[in-house]
Chains A and B, each alone.
Chain A
């Protein structure tokens, strides 16, 4: 945390993207989180991803619940729409916003408390409905705002800063998301932006419910020996199944790859995800296999990261319920309220 605003001066080579903004234009207010918080690093990754994707800030809606993680939308995309909602209720508010206006890019930011405890039901239903959004879980395994009690994602057997051992079974949000029908599921680490930024870029372009579970060490309460969510532990146990590069539809694919088999996945919107396999036996398009793979490795104490599952042909909620294409706020009164004759017609069809 700092009290000073980040100076406006910038590097002379700072570039503008296609829509005329520099990376700095995607920043928000100065963070009030603890120095070294993984969440700040995730904010930086979001800023980088949005700049690289040439997203116009006013086309993004960022929604969050309550908690350290849910404070962070104040610290990035200062010129975007935002809604800091009720604890655990970001998915409902986001779903509503999405139904009213499908033209925005929806970014939900939450934490392990907000999503795996109070908001677990909301999390599950958002996934199964296929709301077209990117759900980032900034997962540190503790309740940082209330001084470091174990959260629902804390691993069984991990030790708190004060020395207690966690006896509860952890909720694995990746497995849950796969199970509930999310169509883009990934796990990243706040300390590895080379992996995280492309994961966020591909998720933002994904036309369906995209979840990234991001290990984000809590410097104040969960970065000690015995923690399974510390910088050291995550680095030691990180098993990246693939490295990805994301190319929006208009970009030529230029990346060159060394060793490892290359898998190309073309998403619904024409964008391409290039995956270089690090685990040759891993297939990110097989949902059932992905679930067992994640669990098998977890049982061995390994933390599987990377793009774990993607359904390139995913559909979303609007498609399923056949809603109107336009945002509701652009419709006239006659369309929004067609009158009693129309109601009669509908009623008649249901008799």
Chain B
């Protein structure tokens, strides 16, 4: 193998598994340390810069960071009865920063003193559009956000129930963006993109989401239509107070997070016998595991492997749903088919049904003759990096771009689109993307003193305290989760391994005394002769079997051997550096920041940015 190039931004970035997995590349360990130190304002701002909605995401994020967390590869699952290794509760720690911060408004960017004369329209006031607005407005762009609803937030406001995400959190965080001098045209549904373009905007960003719920075309659907509702429309009606009650017996069809929101909302609006019935098996459901747990915790059974066959009714009044029992069969490509088991079709009685079986994009307001091409699924043809459509001044992001994803992806799209718009309106090639900025700084303070807490906590993942279930089910606006208090947050934050504090090796200083290899609790470090990666991985001190994790390979040492470190299960405890007599190992904090719109993203004004990799 060749020596590792630790100067390449991706190398150490990949070691910070959570940040690497985050679509917006939020520097997770950095803010977790700040939370542990009680510096909530700064923790909030570190988040805000990257993901714009820390308080909202701290309650609702799909948290791709958590399955990636190194902690879930290194814990001793036999230490207690849980039997599983668990990640740091990253998402809920983020909420702590939002909950305990003081007034941070003075720390946010100010509206631009001078406009730059460029006008950008954002369609939809959801997370993607608001991210574009946040990135561009402080630079002097005149940003106009349109939304059919009266209030900003998009799906964050209409689809996420208030018992998960209180209204005031949405008001606060959408407010921070709108206060940057963004013009919000509320209640103005854009019904023609052609007309909007005619208003002379320099760029248009489409962040209109995936607003159309999929329906179920089975017998009885039309006849019993009065008691059958599309999940996302029903949630929006609940959010705006148009719907305040539901019948006692409710069936929710679908296995995604929307279905979970529907069933839990129904429980709070009068539903006493609420069931979720899903086509797939339990494990294959699209809902996040924790959302399924939350629903079951509220006494909602989830029934699997049942395909809806017909709505039964009595003279147009819904009486129940008939299902076909199936099992999942996988072919050699891993593709699933649902095969009927041949058992009798079960019938479940109910008074109302909520259909949450998927969402589609809908662009009835985009004329098909203005140069924006769509694919066969009805999605716009886009450049995946620049978010640009086939009409150069029109960009897409969020669910409107590639179909339903989640808030954090919408934010990431927004950042990219803002960079594209900023470069385009400054006459620069948008296919050239700005390099991220990285900092690598030694954390050494003294012989055994580091600027981070390197002791490894063996605590298991802490549970977020919940409101008493009786009280929680009484009022749909009462938040169920109470959030970590500062003491619990500290304990949970200490579980973070500080993966951004990197083990940096300097070949010429190493005397090959084996001290690092001997002390490493995870057997990550080996001194051995070179070879092909495949073969080398197997003959290390401990085999490096996780191929998604890199090997850190040194230059040739004095004895002709190499230092090879498997990054996979390193605890970043720094004992290798503490035991190193010559400082060949050092613990250095790697801060990785995406370059957002602004001077830094432009080639002309960013002399330090590297050209795109060849």
Contacts and interface: CB of A to CB of B under 8 A. Distances in A.
Contacts of B456: 7, 9
A35 interface: yes
**3 closest A-B pairs (Cβ-Cβ)?**
A36-B581, A44-B518, A7-B456
B455 interface: yes
B578 A2 contact: yes
B76 A8 contact: yes
Contacts of B543: 13
Contacts of A351: none
Contacts of B76: 8-10
B569 interface: yes
Interface in A190-209: 190-191, 193
A14 B542 contact: yes
B573 A7 contact: yes
A36 B569 CA distance: 23
A231 B519 contact: no
Interface stretch (B13-21, B251-259, B506-514): B506-514
B542 A6 contact: no
A1 B578 CA distance: 7
A6 B580 CA distance: 15
B571 A9 contact: yes
28 contacts: A2-B578, A4-B578, A7-B456, A7-B458, A9-B458, A10-B521, A11-B523, A12-B73, A13-B542, A13-B545, A14-B542, A35-B515, A35-B578, A35-B579, A36-B511, A36-B513, A36-B515, A36-B579, A36-B582, A37-B513, A37-B515, A38-B513, A41-B518, A44-B514, A44-B518, A219-B513, A231-B511, A232-B558
A2 B571 contact: no
Interface in B512-555: 512-515, 517-519, 521-524, 542-543, 545
Given A44-B514, A191-B513, A217-B513, A11 B581 contact: no
A34 interface: yes
B448 A9 contact: no
A11 B518 contact: no
B559 interface: yes
Interface string B449-465: 00000111010000000
Interface of A: 1-4, 6-14, 24, 34-38, 40-41, 43-44, 190-191, 193, 217, 219, 223, 231-232, 235
Interface residues of B, number: 36
A36 B580 contact: yes
A8 B298 CA distance: 37
A3 B455 CA distance: 10
B68 interface: no
Contacts of B514: 41, 44, 190-191, 193
B10 to A, nearest CB: 25
B395 to A, nearest CB: 44
Contact of B581 (A2, A13, A34): A34
B346 to A, nearest CB: 43
B180 interface: no
A9 B523 contact: no
Contacts of B519: 2, 6, 40
A2 B73 CA distance: 25
Q: Which of A217, A231, A232 has the most CB of B within 10 A?
A: A231
A204 B524 CA distance: 28
